[in-house]
Amino acid sequence: MSDVKNDSENKTEERPPVSYAGIIYGDIIYWGTLAGAFVVLLGSIISFATTNNYVDPAYMLSALMDGKNVNEIWTGAEGVGAPPNGHWYLSEFTTGNGLTMLGIAMGVFSVTPAIFASAYYLYKDNDKVFASVAALAGVITIFAMI
């Protein structure tokens, strides 16, 4: 039944506890995303204010606005010649757009450790079924990265 009705009989009860597995999940993602945002800022200034770039950002933005597709953009990029395959920014993180991409990837990646940390705390809370579901979600997320 809805729950509101049942609840009206329990006005003296305490607030339900907030799941620690949820808190740890949210906190890791929150700080991971913020850290990623600061790295993106740093990468953006290096991209614009120096010539230390994997691909010239002026070319990239122009090709993008010109309606070129992914293949055309990367093929026409000086010194690159083909679309990257894999995590290209890891070996290029000292360049402006490599660092910018690393920052975005950090924000996205923060989901993975958050899922596993949450799975661990669900397991500790004896919620083995959902700890396994969480771990499975984490494994699938890793699978998406490779």
Partner 1 sequence: MASLIKRIPELSLLIFGTVIIYIAMGLLSQLNDTNVLTADGAWMLIVGSFLMSFVIAIVAVLGGVGGGVLFTPVMLGFTSIDSLLVRSTGLVVAMFSGLVSSGPFMRKGLADIRIVFYCAIPIIIGAMLGAQVAISMADSMGAEGDAIVRLLLGLILVFIAVMFIMGGAKNEYPKRKFIDRISEKMNLKSAYYEESLGKNIYYQAIRVLPGGFLFLIVGFTGGFFGLGGGWAVVPVLNLVMTVPLKVSAASSGVLLAMGNAAAIWPYIMKGALIASFAAPWMLGQVIGGIIGAHVLSKINAGFVRNILIVLLLMTSVKLISRGIEGFFGVDIPIL
Tell me: does residue 2 bind partner 1 (CB under 8 A). yes
Tokens found for residue 119:
């799975």
SS3 labels along the chain: CCCHHHHHCCCCCCCCCCCHHHHHHHHHHHHHHHHHHHHHHHHHHHHHHCCCCCCCHHHHHHHHHCCCCHHHHHHCCCCCCCCCCCCHHHCCCCCHHHHHHHHHHHHHHCHHHHHHHHHHHHHHCCCHHHHHHHHHHHHHHHHHHC
Contact positions with partner 1 (CB under 8 A) in 10-49: 10-11, 13, 15-19, 21-23, 25-27, 29-31, 33-34, 36-38, 40-41, 43-45, 47-49
Work out how close the CB of 91 gets to partner 1 at its nearest, in angstroms, rounded to a whole number: 13
Nearest approach, Cβ of 21 to partner 1 (angstroms)? 5
> Shortest approach of partner 1 to residue 79 CB, angstroms?
14
- Residue 35 one-letter amino acid: A
* Count of residues near partner 1 by CB under 8 A: 91
Residue 94 Cβ vs partner 1, minimum distance, rounded to whole Å: 14
Contact set for partner 1, span 53-72 (CB under 8 A): 56-70
Which residues in the 82-141 window bind partner 1 by CB under 8 A? 83-89, 97-98, 100-101, 103-105, 107-112, 114-115, 118, 122, 127, 130, 133-134, 136-137, 140-141
